[in-house]
Amino acid sequence: MVIETLSEDVKKCVDRWKDREGNLIMILHDVQDRYGYVPREASLEISRQLDAPLARIYEVLTFYNYFKLQAPGKFNLSVCLGTACYLKGAPTLIDQVRRILHVEEGQTTKDGMFHLQIVRCLGCCGLAPVVTVGEKVYSAVKRSDIVDIIAEHAKIYQKN
Amino acid sequence: MSTVTMVKALINGIEVKVPAGTTILDAARSVQVNIPTLCKHPDLAASAGCGICIVKAKNNRKMLRACCTPLEEGMDITTHDPEIVQTRRTVLELIMANHPTECLTCGRNRDCELQKIAADFGIREDLYERVLPDLPIDRSTGTIVMEPKKCIKCGRCIDVCQNVQDVWALSFIDRGFKTRISPAGDIKLAESPCVRCGQCSAHCPTGAIFENDETQKVWSLLQDPDKHCVVQIAPAVRVAVGEGFGYPVGTNLTKKLYSLLRRLGFKAVFDTNFGADLTIMEEGTEFVERFVNKNGPLPLITSCCPAWVDYLEKYYGDMISLFSSTKSPHEMVGALTKTYYAQKNNIDPAKIKVVSIMPCTAKKYEILRSEEMASSGYQDVDVSLTTRELIRMIKQAGVDFKQLPDEDADLMLGDYAGAGTIFGATGGVMEAALRTAYFVITGEGLKDVNFTNVRGLQGVKETSVDIKGTEVKIAVAHGLKNVKFVMDKVRDAILNNKPLPYHYIEVMACPGGCVGGGGQPYMVTDDIRKQRAKGLYDEDAGLPHRCAHENPHVQELYRNFLEKPLSHKSHQLLHTKYTARPLYIK
C-alpha cells in the first residue's frame, strides 16, 4: 500500500507530540487513528523523524495489543474476551470465527473483508458473550450464530 | 581522597563488609558463597530476568533477586535453604519446559549455561509438558545463526546489541509467552541493521545465537588432495585459544598454534600479524599522504574492523570518504597468498584455499563483502573461522595441544613486528600506525615506541602526538556506542567549518578490541579483556622489531613484488571501496 502523503502525515503526528516525554506511544496512536493501523512505512518514517531506532518502535507496537500492524478489513469483527464473555463461552466463538474465516487474532482475511480482533470488555457485560461487527453489536451470541453473522455482512458487501 | 561508604550485613551467618551499592550476588561471592544465576552475565547489567538467584532476607516476606538487589546495612541474608533451592528448581523446570531437548546436536553442548545449571541441580525428569514456539531459524547473515526456540529470554543479546553496541538490530518482540528475540517486525537479521559483530553470540547463555559453524567445510578442504590449504591466525586468537584448554587467561600460544595447524594438514602457516604490519605500511602512508601532502580528506579513519565497516556504511554513509581504503590484514594475507606466494612457489592459485582464524564473526561476512575481496582473481580468503571453532577443531583432531612443541610460521607471509601483534587490542592499530607514521614523516626512528596513552579500556581515548613540532590529534574508540561521540564531533566540525577535532581515528567494534571479539571464548569480562591484551603487549615488548616498517619480510615483499606503499599493485591487491547502505532492506 502506497500512501503518498505519509511523510507529511507522520510529521503532523510527530510535531504534535515532539516535545513531550513519552511521545512515541502518542504518535503511534495518532498514526493508527489516521490509517486504522500502523504501516511499516510509517514506523520507518517515525524512526527517521524522531531519531529513534525502529527496533524500539516495534517493541512498543508489539507489546500493546491495541496497535495493529496490518490494514484492518472492511469489517472489524471483534469478540469480547472480558471476564463475563469469557465465562459465557467467548473462546468457542473465537474458535468458530477462526474456522470459518481462516484468520488468527489480529489478521485480515485474504479478500480484505474481515479483520478478527479480540477485545477486553466492551462495557455491556449483561449482554455476554458479545460480538461486534463494525458498529453493530450482537448479544448472547451462540457458536451456531457466527456463520449467520458473517454471511449477513458478506451480503452487505456484495450488494455495495 | 573520596571515602567509600561501607555496609555491614550477614550472609548465611557470615559477616560481610562491602562498599554500598554492591549487590547481594557480588557480596556473597566475597565470602565464598555462590548464588546460582542464569541470566546475569558478569559483563552486563542485571536484567532480573530468570529468577534463579532468589534469596531470603530476614523480616522480609518476599524473596529477593540477588543479582539486582544491593546489600543493605544490617541485612540478614539466607542464600540456601530447602525452600529456596526448591523454588529455584521450579523456576528452572519451567524454563526447561520451553527449551528443546536437543543438547546432543546443539553447538553449545557441554558449554551451555542452562545445561550446566540443570546438571548442577540434578534435574532428572520433565515435570511440565514441553511447549516450544514454532519459530524459524535465521541463517541470513552467514555469520551468526539465530534459533529463537532455544532462547530463554534473558535479554543479554538485546542489552549488548542496543546498549553496548548501539546497533539496535535485536529487540524483544511481542509479550508474555509469545515474546521472542527478533529484528523489528520479524524480518531477517540480514535485512536489519545487524553488523555481524557477534557480541550477541558471545553473550548468549544457550545455543539461541551461535556462530555459523564452518569447521566441517575446513575439514573437507584439508581432506581434498587437490587443494593446497593455507592458514593464518589473527593477533587476538593466540591469547584467547588457551582458555579452551585450561591455560591462564592471556597466555600467548603463537608457536604452539603454528605446530598445531601444520598437524591439521595446512601446507603453509602464515600469520595475520604480517598482514597487520602491511596494513600499517599502506594505511600509515595513506595518513601521511592526507596529513602532510594534503591529498585527501581528514580525519583518516581505520577500516580493519569489518563490523565497524558495516556500521559506518549503514550509519555514517555520508562520511565514507574519511575511511581508509586499506584492506584488513587477513584480506591482505589472502590476496598475497594467491599471488605472491603462488608465483614464488609455482602453485596454481585456483588450488589454494586460504583459511583465516579470527576472533570475529564479522570476518565471515567480510570475505564476501565486495568484489575487491577477490582481488587475486579468486576469493582471497575462502573460509574464516572463529577462535571458538578452532578450539573445537583442536579437540576433534585428537592432538594433545598442551604438549605440542613450538614451531615457527612460514616467514614469507608470517613474520611480524610488535606493531602487528598489538592490532588485537583497542589502541593497537593507532599505536602501530604512529610508530611508522613518525618514521615516514621524519625519516627518523622513535626513541620510545610505546604510546601508552592509547592503551587500556577507556571507551574513548583522545590524545595528541607531537611529530617533530607538528601536532597530530587522535581518537581511539571501541564498543560501537562510544563511536557516536567521536563521529558526531567530526560531523559537527565538517558541517560548521570548525577546526577538525582529530586527524586520525581508530575504531574497533567490540569492547576491548579484537581480544573481546564476538568469536572469542565465552564469559568475557573487562578483567579478561585486560589480560588478553596484556598477552599481546608483553609479546610486542619482547620482539626484535617493534615497527611495521622494520619487518624484513615486509621490506622484501615491497622490494620484490609491490614496489612501494600505495603503488599500482598495492592498490589492486590491498585496497578496497565502501558503499553507503540502508539500515533496513525491508
Grouped pLDDT means (10 residues each) for chain B, 586 residues: 87 97 97 96 92 96 96 97 97 96 95 96 92 95 97 96 97 92 94 98 98 98 98 98 97 98 97 98 96 94 97 95 97 98 98 98 97 97 98 95 97 97 97 95 93 96 92 97 95 94 98 98 97 98 97 98 97 97 92
The predicted pLDDT at position A1 comes to 57
Chain B residues whose beta carbon lies within 8 Å of the beta carbon of residue A57 = 184
Residues A104 and A131 in one domain: yes
Say if the Cβ atoms of B173 and A59 lie within 8 Å.
yes
Residues A56 and A124 in one domain: no
Residue of A nearest to B170 (CA): A55
Neighbours of B1 (CB within 10 A): 3
Q: Say if A68 falls within a structural domain.
A: no
First to last CA, chain A: 23
Residues A82 and A140 in one domain: yes
Give the best residue of B163, B167, B174 to mutate against chain A (max A CB count within 10 A): B174
The predicted pLDDT at position B424 comes to 97
Interface of B with A (CB under 8 A): 162, 168-175, 183-185, 192, 583-584, 586
Edge-to-edge order in the sheet of strand B6-11 = B14-19, B6-11, B76-78, B54-57, B63-65
CATH T-level topology, domain B122-211: Alpha-Beta Plaits (3.30.70)
Q: Say if A70 falls within a structural domain.
A: no
The predicted pLDDT at position A2 comes to 67
Interface of A with B (CB under 8 A): 40, 43-44, 53-59, 62-63, 69
For B259-315, the pLDDT digits (tens) are: 999 999 999 999 999 999 999 999 999 999 999 999 999 999 999 999 999 999 999
Q: Say if A69 falls within a structural domain.
A: no
Say if residue A3's pLDDT is above 80.
no
Residue B269 has, within 13 A of its CA and on its CB side, a CA count of 17
Closest CA to B120 of B132, B112, B131: B112
Ranges of each domain in chain B:
6-80, 122-211, 216-574
d(CA B28, CA B482): 33
Q: Which CATH class is domain B216-574?
A: alpha beta
Beta bridge partners of B355: B231, B383
What's the total number of domains in chain A?
2
CATH of residue A143's domain is 3.40.30.10
Whether the link from the prior residue into A129 is cis, omega within 30° of 0, is yes
d(CA B259, CA B233): 12
Residue A21's pLDDT band (cuts 50, 70, 90): confident
Active-site entry in B15, B125, B129, B371: B371
Instruction: Please check whether residue B478 is in contact with residue B510, taking contact to mean a CB–CB distance below 8 angstroms.
Output: yes
For B310-361, the pLDDT digits (tens) are: 999 999 999 999 999 999 999 999 999 999 999 999 999 999 999 999 999 9
Residues A59 and A116 in one domain: no
Enclosing domain of residue A84: 75-159
Chain B residues whose beta carbon lies within 8 Å of the beta carbon of residue A43 = 184-185
Say if residue A159's pLDDT is above 80.
no
Which backbone phi and psi does B63 adopt, to 5 degrees? -85, 145
Chain B residues whose beta carbon lies within 8 Å of the beta carbon of residue A62 = 173-175
Residue of B nearest to A44 (CA): B584
Residues A119 and A83 in one domain: yes
Say if residue A160's pLDDT is above 70.
no
CATH T-level topology, domain B6-80: Ubiquitin-like (UB roll) (3.10.20)
Instruction: Please check whether residue B509 is in contact with residue B194, taking contact to mean a CB–CB distance below 8 angstroms.
Output: no
Residues A86 and A59 in one domain: no
Rounded to two decimals, the pTM is 0.91
Edge-to-edge order in the sheet of strand A75-80 = A114-119, A75-80, A131-133, A136-138
For A73-128, the pLDDT digits (tens) are: 889 899 999 999 999 999 999 999 999 999 998 888 988 899 998 988 888 899 99
Q: In this predicted complex, what is the ipTM?
A: 0.91
User: Which ranges in B240-369 belong to alpha helices (H)?
Assistant: 254-264, 272-291, 306-315, 329-336, 342-345, 363-366
The predicted pLDDT at position A66 comes to 81
Spacing of C-alpha B354 from chain mean position: 21
Chain B residues whose beta carbon lies within 8 Å of the beta carbon of residue A58 = 171, 173, 184-185
Residues A59 and A79 in one domain: no
Position of cell 586460504? B354
Residues A54 and A105 in one domain: no
d(CA B233, CA B363): 12
The predicted pLDDT at position B186 comes to 85
Position of cell 583459511? B355
The predicted pLDDT at position B1 comes to 56
User: Which ranges in B74-112 belong to alpha helices (H)?
Assistant: 82-96
d(CA B425, CA B509): 11
